[in-house]
Amino acid sequence: MIVGVITIKLHTPWVHSLKEKRMVVKSIISKVRNKFNVSIAEVDEQDTHQIIIIGLACVVGTVVLLDSTVEKVIRFIEDSSDAEILDIQREIR
């Protein structure tokens, strides 16, 4: 069993209120949950308007499957959102 923990930092320069940010975060999270079998949530910077930090975890059988799933999720977030990905941190446990 391999557990992958990923932290994705996004920048949304057009967001000017926490309400707008919440709409963007909920959209990203619900789309990823519906498409992939992963756990996902906003994990930090909840009070900052233009920065979104999302935590993602998945349990898989092989490192190859983990890498494939993570790449698909990242590509999906890039394609389905106008948010710019600033940083991605990966950890395998």
pLDDT in tens, the chain (93 residues): 899 999 999 999 999 999 999 999 999 999 999 999 899 999 988 888 899 999 999 999 999 999 999 999 999 999 988 889 999 999 988
| Domains present along the chain, CATH in parentheses | 2-92 (3.30.70.1120)
How many alpha carbons fall within 13 Å on the CB side of residue 76? Answer: 16
Beta bridge partners of 5: 57, 91
17-52 burial, b for 16+ CB within 10 Å, e for fewer? eeeebeebbeebbeebeeebebebebeeeeeebebb
Q: What is the pTM of this model?
A: 0.87
